Amino acid sequence: MPLLTVLEGLHSAEAYNPAFLVGFLERVREVARHPESYRDSLRGRLIATVFEEPSTRTRLSFEAAAQRLGAGLLSVADPKTSSRVKGESLSDSARVIGSYADLLVWRHPCDGASRLVSRCAGIPVINAGDGRLGHPTQTLVDLATLAESWDGFAGRTVGLMGDLAHGRTARSLAWGLTMLGARVLLLPAPGLDWESGFEERVRVRSGYRLGRVEHPLLRAWTGVESARLLEPRGLLQGRLFDDGASRLERLDALYLTRLQRERGAAAEGKGYVGLRPEQLRDPLLRDCLFLHPLPRREEIPPEIDDDPRARYFEQARLGPVVRMTLFLAMLQAASWELPPLTALPAGNPDHPLGVCPNANCITRAEGLPSPWRLAGGEQRIFLCAYCDARLPVEYVGCRSSRKFHPIHSPAVLQIRPENLRPFRERDAARAEGYIWGGG
Ligand code: CP
C-alpha cells in the first residue's frame, strides 16, 4: 500500500485507525531493536522544527530522531528569535520555512495551527502540539509505552485523569485508545472536564457507548465516586448497581496530566488532583501502569518514581525511537509500507460561516474566516475545519433544491454532503435566495 498518502501530514489523532496504529507500533519495535540499521536512512534530507511554545521532550526527541537518522536540522527553539516577533503571519512563516526543508515539525499555542501550517508549507507537516487541540505524536509515544507491557489493547481499561478541559495529550490519546479497543475511564479534575461534543465525536467514530463505573478511589481523584467509561458496544463489565453503574474492578493504566496553567486553568477547591503514595496499595491499582506525558507537577510525587508500575520516564525515553519511526514513515515512503491514516473531511472554504466561536482558534489569530467541515457519521454537525469547534449553525440549505430547513429537521439528513449549505441565521439563507422548506 502506498505510504505517502498516509503521512503527507500528521495533524490530529482523529486520523488514526486500527490498521495504521498496529502497523506503526510494529515498526517502532523494529526500529527500537535495530536503531543502528537506520543510521543514515535520511542523509541528505532536511527537517525543520519550529516551537512557538516551550518544550523539552517533544523538540529534543524530534531533533534526536532526525540526527540519529542522519538528517540535517533547522531549528527555531525560541519564537523570540524568529521574525514572528516582527508580526510575520503564521501562513507566511510556514510558506518560507517550507521552502527550506523536506519536512516540518511545528508547535503552536493556537488550536488548529498545524492544519494552517500544512496548507501553506507545501511539504509534510507534523503537529508537535497545537493549543489544546491535539498532540498526536505524544499519543504514539503513549501507545508504544503501553505496547511494551501489553499484548493488545482490547479489554484494557485506561483512566485519563486531570485537566481534560485544557490538556491536549489526553484528548489525542482518547482517539488512539478507542481505535485499539481499550476502555477509557474519564477522571476529570473538578471543573476541568472536556466538552460533551468532543466525547460524542470520539464515541461516534469508534462505535463506543457511554457507561458509568463506581469505586471509592474515584472520589479522591474527581470528587465523586462514579465516573464515565467509554467502552466498545456489547461489553458489560462487573456487577450492575441499582443506578446502572458497575463496579470498577481493575485499572490497567492511569494517565495523569498536569494543570494547564498556561491556558488559564485553575484548580477548584483544595488543590489539584493526583496519585498519592498511600493509594498505591489499593487492589484497583495492583497491575496498573502509571503514565504521564510530563512535565509533571504535584500530581505525581517523586516517591512514586521507583514503583515498578511508574512508566513516565520510559515514555520520555521512547520519544526519539517513536519519532524516528515517524520520520522514516514520512520520508522513506517507498520502503516503509503502512496502512494509510484516515483522512478527515476537507474544510469547505466556499461558504464560510464567519468568525470561529473558539477564541483560541488559529483563524482568529490570523484573521481568517472559519471554513467548516462535517463531523463523522450521519449527524449533521458542523465544525471549524481548523480547530474542530462546533459552529453555531441554525439552518441548513440544499444547494440543489434551494430549500432550507432548521438544523434538527429530518430533511437535513436527506441532503447530500456535497449539497449542504449551512447558515447561522434564517435571513442569511433568504439573502442567498433559499426558500423555506419546513421543519
Ligand atoms: N510531553 C511533552 O509534550 O513534553 P514537552 O512539553 O516537554 O515537549
Give residue-wise pLDDT tens across range 155-181. 999 999 999 999 999 999 999 999 999
Give the model's pLDDT for residue 88.
95
Residue located nearest, by CA, to atom 1 of ligand 1: 293
**403-406 and 395-398 strand pairing:** antiparallel
**435-436 and 403-406 strand pairing:** parallel
Q: Please give the grid coordinates belonging to residue 159.
A: 483512566
Q: Is the distance from the beta carbon of residue 296 to the nearest atom of ligand 1 less than 6 Å? A: no
Give the model's pLDDT for residue 307.
97
Give the model's pLDDT for residue 214.
96
Which parts of the chain register pLDDT below 70?
1-8, 235-243, 376-378
Give the model's pLDDT for residue 7.
47
Ligand 1: centre distance to CA 60 (Å) = 9
CA atoms within 13 A on the CB side of 38: 28
Tell me how far apart the alpha carbons of residues 229 and 186 are, in angstroms, rounded to a whole number. 6
Tell me how far apart the alpha carbons of residues 213 and 398 are, in angstroms, rounded to a whole number. 43
Residue 264 and residue 360 in contact, taking contact as beta carbons nearer than 8 Å: no
Nearest to 208 by CA among 216, 200, 196: 200
Tell me how far apart the alpha carbons of residues 17 and 338 are, in angstroms, rounded to a whole number. 12
Give the model's pLDDT for residue 271.
75
Q: Annotated catalytic residue: which of 11, 27, 49, 58?
A: 58
Q: Specify whether 209 is catalytic.
A: no
Tell me how far apart the alpha carbons of residues 269 and 271 are, in angstroms, rounded to a whole number. 6
The residue written with cell numbers 484528548 in the block is: 171
Residue 145 and residue 172 in contact, taking contact as beta carbons nearer than 8 Å: no
Residue located nearest, by CA, to atom 3 of ligand 1: 58
Index of the ligand 1 atom closest to the CA of residue 141: 1
Give the model's pLDDT for residue 438.
87
Index of the ligand 1 atom closest to the CA of residue 107: 8
Index of the ligand 1 atom closest to the CA of residue 135: 3
Residue 226 and residue 214 in contact, taking contact as beta carbons nearer than 8 Å: yes
Q: Please give the grid coordinates belonging to residue 166.
A: 485544557
H-run or E-run covering 135: none
Neighbouring-strand partners of residue 111: 361
Residue 170 and residue 164 in contact, taking contact as beta carbons nearer than 8 Å: yes
Residue 429 and residue 396 in contact, taking contact as beta carbons nearer than 8 Å: no
The residue written with cell numbers 531533533 in the block is: 63
Give the model's pLDDT for residue 9.
85
Tell me how far apart the alpha carbons of residues 294 and 284 are, in angstroms, rounded to a whole number. 24
The residue written with cell numbers 502509571 in the block is: 290
Strand order in the sheet with 289-291: 246-247, 208-214, 226-232, 183-188, 157-162, 253-256, 289-291
Nearest to 371 by CA among 351, 388, 390: 351
**246-247 and 289-291 strand pairing:** unpaired
Q: Indicate the SS3 state at residue 388.
A: coil
Tell me how far apart the alpha carbons of residues 113 and 62 are, in angstroms, rounded to a whole number. 19
